[in-house]
């Protein structure tokens, strides 16, 4: 009788030969890249630095493709997007101290969005570790401590023999639900020292499955089957679990209207008769969800944005499916089911009874009409026209990456992503500078389709150095920069709160001339010509920049009780 724990990975004859006769000139860095290749990685992102040179030297002896960005934080954003698009753990190679710390904001976004990033950093030489003040370049008393509150797990290597297992453990952690960034660090001398260890040829890091408890899904299925007015909130967990098909099947079986969170864009078809779309920052939607007698929340923690700034107060029974244990019932009491969204939805499909509600599509239409009427009363034609032009210009199967800018805030609520896993933004952690470097990572993941990045002029200034990256690698990204002369949303917030804005106005470059100085085509457009100019730029291979001078406004919020 054979037990699962008796099974081992057995090397092929070629792998055995490579292990017994490894090529000369290998060091600890080779163990890193060999392990990554053994795990299935094909592309790595990063930035070299003095302590990390052993890893980067080893890259030239490997088949891994390297995409080097100009700022570590941007390299982290690129890896984040690569992980979101592919579902693979994206390796991010960094150096010690300032290089490592510069990646923190990107890793926070990856953590908030559950993007699988495998960050591998160098460390000062082993002799300098332990918290003493030895005076090494880039020395920190405890570098890993800076990351423990940000990433999903931290892994430490002190000898070469630890490298394959530590990387495999980190890889498994990054890809076990909930996905997320992980941190691993290796001292400089360990990376540089020659190694007599055999080549790494067989690595197993299969992620654990997070299955729901059957007694919980049985109760949930019964509640949903007997509900009078069920509704569903679909979050980013549905997208990450590739569970949008199962969500649609369940919604149709229950005749349950579905709203997607901003992180869950594309989890449910935008024009489906049961689609409430994404108007979560609208009191009409909040009222609709509060009226549900059974509310199924899948892959969302119902945080600030998803709860209309915590004004949402459900009156019915809440069922919450969430892979992140810390988010389970963190904002509302619920029947909490700690599980991967795909596995939990499959369990509900196997047990929920069909219910029919002919009024559901009509109630959905009425809600969307009220939302539309509220927006129409605010005279925001320019903003709606610009967003419509972007949607028409962008191919239906192209991904888009949105920075923290007014047009992105509109897109969260009003943009039809056309499909799952195509629209991404930095709304998880809310940092500036995400859109363009993230789009570069997506283009590296799939060069067959154009990618759109959207930034304001303030956010664009975080990322202009990556025009060199886009040009160097010929990445197929069109960057739309909406230039309103400053931090537009902060200008609006401060004017509303204090009567005038402070520190929001910016001197900025001629973005078209700047792009062209990098060898990247640029064009200045207008709201009238945006659709044509953007479509033309997206149709041309390689990077391009489209600059739209426009002062956009946000629709009035409803959580303040004023609209």
Share the mean pLDDT of the chain: 95
Q: Is the pLDDT of residue 4 over 50?
A: no
Buried b (16+ CB within 10 A) or exposed e, 359-385: ebeebbeebbebbeebbeeeebeebee
pTM given for the model: 0.95
What confidence category does residue 2 fall into, taking pLDDT thresholds of 50, 70 and 90? very low
pLDDT of the residue at 20: 73
Q: Is the pLDDT of residue 35 over 60?
A: yes
pLDDT of the residue at 198: 94
Q: Is the pLDDT of residue 130 over 90?
A: no
What confidence category does residue 14 fall into, taking pLDDT thresholds of 50, 70 and 90? low
pLDDT of the residue at 202: 82
What confidence category does residue 132 fall into, taking pLDDT thresholds of 50, 70 and 90? confident
What confidence category does residue 15 fall into, taking pLDDT thresholds of 50, 70 and 90? low
Q: In degrees rounded to 5, what are phi and psi of residue 509?
A: -80, 175
Contact (CB, 8 A) for 151 and 181: yes
Measure the CA–CA gap between 177 and 512, rounded to whole angstroms.
42
Averaged pLDDT for residues 248-268: 97
Averaged pLDDT for residues 110-138: 92
**Hey, what are 333's tokens?**
């009491």
If we measure between CA atoms, which residue out of 117, 125, 197, 208 comes closest to residue 163? Answer: 197
**Hey, what are 83's tokens?**
């992980």
* Distances, alpha carbon 310 to alpha carbons 89, 371, 493, 518, in Å: 33, 19, 19, 45
pLDDT of the residue at 561: 67
What confidence category does residue 5 fall into, taking pLDDT thresholds of 50, 70 and 90? very low
pLDDT of the residue at 520: 98
Sign of CA dihedral 509, 68, 453, 409: negative
Q: Is the pLDDT of residue 453 over 50?
A: yes
Q: Is the pLDDT of residue 3 over 70?
A: no
**Three-state secondary-structure class, residue 186:** strand
Measure the CA–CA gap between 273 and 472, rounded to whole angstroms.
46
pLDDT of the residue at 8: 53
**Hey, what are 120's tokens?**
């591998």
Q: What angle do CA 212, 237, 36 make, to 5 degrees?
A: 95
Q: Is the pLDDT of residue 364 over 80?
A: yes
Q: Is the pLDDT of residue 379 over 60?
A: yes
Burial degree of 72 (CB within 10 A; 0-12, 13-18, 19+) = buried
């Amino acid at each position: 009788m054979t037990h699962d724990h008796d099974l081992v990975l057995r090397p092929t004859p070629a792998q055995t030969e490579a292990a017994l006769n490894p090529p000369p000139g290998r060091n600890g860095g080779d163990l890193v890249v060999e392990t990554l290749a053994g795990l299935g990685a094909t592309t790595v992102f990063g930035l070299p630095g003095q302590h990390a040179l052993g890893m980067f030297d080893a890259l030239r002896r490997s088949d891994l493709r390297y995409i080097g960005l100009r700022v570590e934080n941007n390299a982290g954003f690129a890896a984040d997007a690569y992980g979101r698009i592919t579902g693979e753990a994206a390796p991010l190679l960094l150096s010690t101290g300032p290089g490592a710390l510069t990646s923190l904001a990107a890793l926070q976004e990856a953590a908030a969005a559950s993007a699988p990033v495998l960050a591998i950093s160098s460390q000062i030489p082993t002799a300098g570790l332990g918290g003493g003040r030895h005076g090494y370049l880039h020395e920190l008393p405890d570098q890993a401590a800076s990351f423990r509150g940000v990433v999903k797990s931290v892994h430490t290597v002190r000898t070469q023999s630890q490298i394959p297992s530590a990387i495999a453990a980190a890889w498994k952690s990054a890809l076990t639900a909930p996905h997320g960034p992980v941190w691993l660090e290796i001292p400089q001398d360990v990376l540089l020292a020659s190694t007599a260890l055999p080549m790494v040829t067989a690595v197993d890091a299969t992620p654990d499955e997070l299955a729901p408890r059957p007694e919980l899904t049985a109760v949930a299925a019964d509640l949903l089957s007997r509900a009078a007015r069920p509704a569903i909130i679909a979050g980013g967990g549905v997208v990450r679990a590739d569970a949008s098909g199962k969500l649609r099947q369940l919604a149709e079986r229950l005749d349950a209207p579905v709203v997607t969170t901003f992180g869950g864009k594309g989890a449910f078809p935008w024009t489906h008769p049961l689609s409430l779309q994404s108007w979560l920052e609208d009191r009409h939607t909040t009222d609709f969800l509060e009226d549900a007698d059974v509310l199924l929340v899948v892959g969302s923690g119902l945080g600030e944005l998803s709860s209309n700034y915590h004004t949402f107060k459900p009156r019915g029974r809440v069922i919450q499916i969430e892979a992140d244990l810390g988010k389970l019932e963190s904002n509302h009491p619920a029947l909490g089911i700690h599980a991967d969204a795909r596995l939990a939805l499959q369990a509900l499909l196997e047990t929920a009874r069909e219910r029919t509600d002919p009024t559901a599509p009509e109630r959905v239409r009425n809600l969307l009409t009220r939302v539309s009427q509220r927006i129409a009363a605010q005279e925001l034609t320019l903003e709606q026209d610009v967003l419509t032009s972007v949607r028409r210009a962008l191919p239906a199967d192209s991904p888009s990456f949105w920075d923290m800018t007014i047009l992105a805030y509109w897109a969260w609520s009003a943009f039809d992503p056309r499909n799952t896993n195509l629209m991404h933004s930095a709304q998880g952690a809310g940092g500036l500078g995400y859109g363009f470097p993230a789009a570069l990572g997506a283009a590296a993941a799939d060069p067959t389709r154009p990618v759109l990045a959207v930034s304001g002029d303030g956010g664009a200034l975080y990322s202009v150095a990556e025009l060199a990256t886009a040009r160097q690698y010929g990445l197929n990204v069109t960057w739309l920069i909406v230039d309103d002369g400053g931090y537009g949303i902060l200008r609006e917030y401060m004017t509303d709160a204090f009567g005038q804005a402070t520190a929001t106005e910016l001197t900025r470059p001629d973005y078209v001339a700047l792009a062209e100085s990098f060898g990247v085509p640029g064009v200045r457009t207008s709201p009238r010509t945006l659709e044509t100019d953007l479509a033309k730029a997206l149709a041309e291979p390689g990077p391009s920049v489209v600059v739209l001078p426009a002062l956009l406004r946000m629709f009035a919020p409803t959580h303040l009780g004023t609209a």
